[in-house]
Chain A
Amino acid sequence: MTKFLVPLGIFGLLAVVLAIGIHHSPDKGIIKSPLLGKAAPVFALPNLTDPARQVRSVDLKGRWYLFNVWGTWCGGCREEHEALLQVHRAGVVPIIGLDWKDDDAQALSWLTQLGNPYESVATDHSGRQAIEWGVYGAPETFLVNPQGIVVYKHVGALTPEVWTREILPRVSKVPATAGSS
């Protein structure tokens, strides 16, 4: 009898929807950042590599940049480091690092050993800045546009796929030289 086939049919349809859902869920279940579409926090933080200068958000106005939260204690950061170096070599968008709750000496030797993908690295010993950004856990990467708006957030290790699929299209939509408003 056909009526007993109805549940199976409905389930079949559902399975298709779920399969599509997995295939291109927009952000793979990442905790949505309350910052998305909003202005990135204003900051002026100590510079890891150059104690005489600060890393400041005002200096970044008018440029796209990636804001990458990391620490030497974090396994995922080690994992994504190669991808960050690739992004750095591509030279499309600068990476600003936030060395989160870390030891400066360890962080410096990490960058010497593994290579430094960052244009500059800010240090955040107290963790205050990470809270401003609503960081859930390292690594996390934010894409900020020339107007200082957070347009994309990636939680977890950055991969070349995320770079080519999520970040690059967003950056190249607008000429990289777009000035501030």
Chain B
Amino acid sequence: MLPELGHFALILALLLAGLQAFFGIAGPALARDRWSGAVTSAVAGHAVMIATAVACLIGCFVNEDFSVAYVAENSNSALPLFYRVTALWGAHEGSLLLWILLLAAWTVAVAFGSGRLPPRFAARVLGVLGVVSFGFLLFTLATSNPFLRLDPPAPDGRDLNPILQDPGLAVHPPILYTGYVGFAVAFAFACAAMLEGRLDQNWARWTRPWTTTAWAFLTCGIALGSFWAYYELGWGGFWFWDPVENASFMPWLVGTALIHSLAVTDKRGLFKSWTLLLAILAFSLSLLGTFLVRSGVLVSVHSFAADPTRGIFILTFLIIMIGGALTLYAWRAPLLRSTAGFELGARESFLLFNNVLLVIAAATVFAGTLAPLISDSLKLGTLSVGPPYFNPTFMLSMLPLLALLSVGIHANWKRGRLGDSQRMLLQTFVAAAVLGCGFAFGLYSHGKVLTPVGATLAVWIILSSLVDPIDRWRRGLTLPRAVLGMTVAHIGLALAVFALTAVQSFTIERDVALAPGGTTKAGEYEFRFEGVKPAEGPNYEAVAGTLTVTRHGAPVAVMIPQKRNFWVQHQVISETAIRMHRGNNLLLALGEDLGAGRWSVRIQIRPLVSLIWIAAFIMAMGGALAASDRRYRTARALVTPSEGATAGQPG
């Protein structure tokens, strides 16, 4: 019964999404306000139906209903309850359902928050979101129905992919998807503005908190994914430039550009068409990410089994959505002219550089991700580009971005002259250079060329970010949350740069063969292999190795890396042992059994690697703080371009 109920709820949701799209777009276009008014009812019904469908699928998992193909493929009677619930998004069909659920949640949030928006505009936004949801629901029902029955039912399930049996899985996809899907809201706002043919500073103000919130979720999601890959996959890397990672990173880069471009549109009424384009681009890249991961066009370590018919459907959907939005853009954007101007050297110009550099960075990642596909299409053979391509090209746009960030923070709106800030700029730079080079050459004797550069840039950003808040505090002014959020996010970025610099410069990696009782030395640590013994979990059996770690003879830790063999799918997963010690991240992974009690062991010592994820979390916190500024919650009738920094409205 439950699967049929869920299936039926999905069909109803499809119909209601269609109504939502129709009323939302046709109502305002034909000036029928009653139609526009009906949109919120459609939104409510649509959301309830989707929630019902999700609840039904979870019910099937919890009840161990192996007559449902998706449950049989992704669950097992030995699977703990927690993973039976999270198995919902363990594979393609359920992930799509999660996507749709989160889109519905965003839509409901927009509907609730639309009280301050002009009714017709709000209807259009919800209408565009309805189109997106309709497309995804149609895709799910047509090619990826999670409620299909098996006849005869499977006696037991094939189990959840063992890689995904980790607490990280429980939170990573929903948070990442919340970010992905959140860009649909910015996209809907952009489309609504283009449909209306009007885009003012109020529009930017309405759009900003949604975009920043989505960005904060995406930041968290990417960081969790990276953490999860590091902790669980046991390959000892935190970023692989894998297509799936890139798929989430590209919208993040463009989303970051969008946040900054929106700030200019909000403050100065500039960059209107550019902002629209970025809003379309951010969501397009989210959709493209879905396409790349789901269609099987690209091969990835994360990808689940793929299907070309799904690819064709997604491509058609992409052409309709993105092609439609870009056509609308080509038609409407020329109408949006900005009257104000700015001088070279004004804050606007730095934000323009920021935008251009971020888009270039996204484009290089994009080119690298699609390189295998393009070379294959042109029959150049299968070619894959990896870190040797991504690392240098990405840095090429990131280094100037980081340098310009510190300068841009000191710049004024509109006016190109730096004035008093010039001295401050120089002072912070000198201080940063001294501290950064001191770190590179003092704390660690061996470094690379980029070590002092990265460290200096990171310190410079922190110092520059603190100038304005300290100045305000001295003068007894309050610090609006938007400014505080920006400062926090920039400091988070600087910490991430610092951590990445340290990790890239000072990591020690060693693969050794150890017999029981054997010892080896890596960095300042000694490792003694005590041998292996069997261990057992609820649905796997494992070999656990024991290593005693000491530093200059003093005990540090006993670490137990495991090699787990999952019964049902018979996949071997390396469970790494990870330990923090004096800011160093020690990682041990058990490799191959070399016979006679000897095992290969991978030892990695990375300084400050945890700071990367902490920094990303700080960035996300900054975004959350900025999005919660009350200037976004108070309607403002008249908009005057304000000068100075991101000023809050007193009173």
Contact = CB atoms under 8 A, between A and B. Distances in A.
* Co-assembled chains A and B: yes
Interface string A58-102: 000000000000000111000000000000000000000000110
B571 A11 contact: no
Contacts of A137: 158, 305, 569
Given A8-B327, A25-B308, A31 B334 contact: no
Given A11-B323, A18-B315, A31 B303 contact: yes
A29 B330 contact: no
A28 interface: yes
Contacts of A25: 296-297, 308, 373, 376
B297 A18 contact: yes
B108 interface: no
A19 B313 CA distance: 11
A52 interface: no
A11 B322 contact: yes
Interface in B561-597: 565, 567-572
B561 to A, nearest CB: 18
Contacts of B125: none
A155 B382 CA distance: 19
Interface stretch (A37-45, A112-120, A127-135, A162-170): A127-135
Interface residues of A, number: 36
Contact of B295 (A22, A31, A101): A22
Chain B interface category by residue count = 35 or more
B299 A32 contact: yes
Interface string B286-305: 00000100011111000101
B227 interface: no
Interface string B363-374: 000000010011
A17 interface: yes
B570 A101 contact: yes
Given A4-B329, A8-B329, A29-B295, A75 B373 contact: no
Given A8-B323, A17-B373, A25-B376, A131 B570 contact: yes
Interface string A16-55: 0111111011111111100000000000000000000000
A73 B306 CA distance: 21
B311 interface: yes
Contacts of B141: none
A27 B299 contact: yes
A29 to B, nearest CB: 2
A15 interface: yes
Contact of B296 (A1, A18, A29, A136): A29
A146 interface: no
B457 interface: no
Nearest to B273: A4
Interface stretch (B98-106, B149-157, B495-503): B149-157
A135 B570 contact: yes
B570 A20 contact: no
B306 to A, nearest CB: 3
B568 to A, nearest CB: 8
Given A11-B323, A18-B315, A137-B158, A5 B330 contact: yes
Given A7-B329, A17-B370, A137-B569, A28 B308 contact: yes
A11 B315 CA distance: 12
Interface in A127-174: 127, 130-131, 135-137, 155-156
B69 interface: yes
Contact of A30 (B155, B299, B323): B299
Contacts of A131: 565, 570, 572
A156 B312 contact: no
B605 interface: no
A140 to B, nearest CB: 11
A15 B308 CA distance: 15
A12 B315 CA distance: 12
Contact of B376 (A1, A11, A21, A29): A21
B326 interface: yes
Contacts of A22: 295, 297, 308, 311-312, 315
A73 B155 contact: yes
Given A5-B330, A21-B377, 10 more contacts: A4-B334, A8-B323, A8-B327, A18-B315, A21-B297, A28-B296, A74-B158, A75-B150, A100-B570, A137-B569
Interface of B: 69, 72, 150, 154-156, 158, 273, 277, 280-281, 284, 291, 295-299, 303, 305-308, 311-312, 315, 318-319, 322-323, 326-327, 329-330, 333-334, 370, 373-374, 376-377, 382, 565, 567-572
Interface of A: 1, 4-5, 7-8, 11-12, 15, 17-22, 24-32, 73-75, 100-101, 127, 130-131, 135-137, 155-156
6 pairs of A and B residues whose beta carbons are closest in the complex = A29-B296, A29-B306, A127-B570, A20-B377, A8-B326, A22-B311
